[in-house]
Amino acid sequence: MIQVDLNGQVAVVTGATRGIGFGVAKALSKAGAAVACIGTNAEKLNASVEQINSDGGKATAFICNVADSAAVKQTAAEILEQYGSRVDILVNNAGITRDTLLRVMTDEQWDDVIAVNLRGPFLVTRAFISAMRKKKYGRVVNIASISGMIGNRGQANYSASKAGVIGFTRTVAKEVANRNITVNAISPGFIETDMTAVLDPMIVTEMKNRIPVGRFGQPEDIANAVLFFASPEASFVTGQIIAIDGGMIM
């Protein structure tokens, strides 16, 4: 884990229940930030927060569907009230998949993915950006995907949503740069999470063969990049999209 000092800062991480989101929340906490963890599964989210706190960190659980505008506004208000109207770091990580070929994809499968993966970052960023502007400081990190950069068969909805996140990142970066707020995105490749754990072994082997470094990434690989983007040292880096994929799309 890279060494970054975030003592005294407040971070918000969506989709913090497991996988990349949990890894990011842990890393931010170890760096000294107080972390507001957002998720939809109360049992799993509370367990994740308890683990962070038992390791000496400071984390709080907030149940919220990031695709629900009213819920996001309410949750943001609660977080800002709890942390003195301050949020320094926002990581938009919450995401879902509903993979299937376009010809059989339902309206619901399209809408569900776009709602969480693209509407979610819009709603959450909008909810916190005013507080960052008032403080004249902020770090927004959006979790996109290499699928949003190169496409992926059976993921028209997911790839479109993540491509949207990339465009959203670059646009918002231009809008808030003059307030000392940076907005960047990370595009993970194949990362070892609960999602990849259920893949057929033959698919896992095929995917690893497509990755030059010969392995899947770990949530810590993404967390390290988030720590850099979230740090004061990254003040001159904004509107950037970094693929962390073991060289898969280079």
4-57 confidence digits (pLDDT tens): 999 999 999 999 999 999 999 999 999 999 999 999 999 999 999 999 999 999
Asked if residue 5 belongs to a domain, the reply is: no
What is the per-residue pLDDT for 82? 97
What is the per-residue pLDDT for 206? 81
- 10-14, strands of its sheet edge to edge: 58-63, 34-39, 10-14, 89-92, 138-143, 181-188, 241-244
What is the per-residue pLDDT for 108? 98
Does the active-site annotation cover 158? yes
Q: Which of 82-86, 167-171, 180-184, 193-197 has the lowest mean pLDDT?
A: 193-197
* 201, 2 contact by CB (below 8 A): no
Q: To the nearest whole percent, how much of the chain has pLDDT over 90? A: 90
* Catalytic-labelled residue, pool 158, 168, 190, 229: 158
Give the domain extent around 45: 10-244
Asked if residue 249 belongs to a domain, the reply is: no
What is the per-residue pLDDT for 207? 81
Asked if residue 70 belongs to a domain, the reply is: yes
In angstroms, rounded to a whole number, what is the distance separating the alpha carbons of residues 185 and 169?
7
What is the per-residue pLDDT for 2? 76
What is the per-residue pLDDT for 199? 67
Number of domains in the chain: 1
Asked if residue 229 belongs to a domain, the reply is: yes
DSSP string for residues in 29-78: HHTT-EEEEEES-HHHHHHHHHHHHHTT-EEEEEE--TT-HHHHHHHHHH
Asked if residue 60 belongs to a domain, the reply is: yes
Alpha-carbon separation of residue 104 from 30, 110, 152, 154, 162 (angstroms) = 44, 11, 16, 10, 21
Q: Which two tokens stand for residue 229?
A: 């983007």
Indicate the pLDDT class of residue 204, thresholds 50, 70 and 90: confident
Asked if residue 192 belongs to a domain, the reply is: yes
Asked if residue 250 belongs to a domain, the reply is: no
Indicate the pLDDT class of residue 85, thresholds 50, 70 and 90: very high
Mean pLDDT value of segment 138-148: 97
Asked if residue 240 belongs to a domain, the reply is: yes
pLDDT at 3 over 90: no
Indicate the pLDDT class of residue 193, thresholds 50, 70 and 90: confident
Q: Give the CATH number of the domain where residue 48 resides.
A: 3.40.50.720
